[in-house]
Amino acid sequence: MSAIDELFRELRGAGRKALMPFVTAGDPDLAFTAAVLRELAHCGANLCELGIPYSDPIADGPVIQASYTRALAKKIRLAQILEMVRELTPAFKPPLVSMVSYAIVYRHGLEQFVADAQAAGLAGAIVPDLPVEEAGPLAKICRAADFSLIQLVTPTTPRPRALRIAETSTGFLYYVSVTGITGERGELPPGLIENVAWIREQTPLPVCIGFGISTPDHVRRLAPVADGLIVGSAVVRRIAAASEKNSSRDAVLADVGNYVAELFAAVNPM
């Protein structure tokens, strides 16, 4: 049983849902990324996603794309990110997964990527640009290593294809709430709750919702139907805005921590 499997087993047993914030590795630098991750864990995050900067992200909106551009401008490399993770994870409780382009995985070598990521302390990888038709080799390696391969289902995914994606995924299934790219949105799309309810009936995997989730009201409305809620752009935007204002790092951590604590309280109200 992987760390992610164990997490969701515990949460389901307690009748609770996962809050899963996302941060970009290396924005503004890796030391601060580690500090943000520690703050997220302290404020209630059950699992954290770490974005591996890539020059041509397939699904990310302008906020996360800009964060990738800033990190790449500082020549952040995969080896440096994994070293940061290696130093962080011994005292870091939530499972940590990477959001990574398949181009990076492929260039590194499938088996080598999984081995290096797992050795650093990562529990899995979300690979948004890996089509299910080509996922077999990486899925096989991940299953053998007990390293979760998390794949995405969108509102436009035909139901037979969604089932096939679920069959090749491990850890949890990432349900994209909207058609399009990441980013904060005021309203949730119609049909979202019904679509997630359907896919949860078809697979034993936990189903977690991401893209566009940014407010306590969003998570309160979605928590009953999902196993977890993923929040990305709203966290990344807060880090970027604070950097632009030359805010102190302690102030940025406090702002992000307060925001995540508010979401956590909405996900799992007392």
What Rg value do the Cα atoms of the chain yield, rounded? Answer: 17
Going from N- to C-terminal start, the domains of the chain cover 3-267
Lowest average pLDDT, out of 69-73, 74-78, 203-207, 266-270, goes to: 266-270
Residue in 27, 49, 111, 255 annotated catalytic? 49
pLDDT at 156: 87
pLDDT digits (tens, 9 = 90+) for 43-92: 999 999 999 999 876 655 678 889 999 999 999 999 999 999 999 999 99
Report the residue count for the chain: 270
Residue in 5, 27, 39, 60 annotated catalytic? 60
> Which residues have CB under 8 Å from 39's CB, separation 6+?
253, 256, 257, 260
Measure the CA angle with vertex 61, ends 82 and 101; round to 5°: 35
Question: CA of 181: how far to CAs of 9, 197, 246, in Å?
Answer: 30, 22, 28
Q: Would you call 49 a catalytic residue per the annotation?
A: yes
Best CATH choice for the domain 3-267 from the list 3.20.20.70, 3.40.50.300, 1.10.760.10, 3.40.50.10680? 3.20.20.70
pLDDT digits (tens, 9 = 90+) for 108-160: 999 999 999 999 999 999 999 999 999 999 999 999 999 999 999 988 899 99
Q: Would you call 116 a catalytic residue per the annotation?
A: no
pTM assigned to the model: 0.91
pLDDT at 19: 95
Mean pLDDT of the chain: 90
**Which pLDDT band, with edges at 50, 70 and 90, does 215 fall under?**
confident
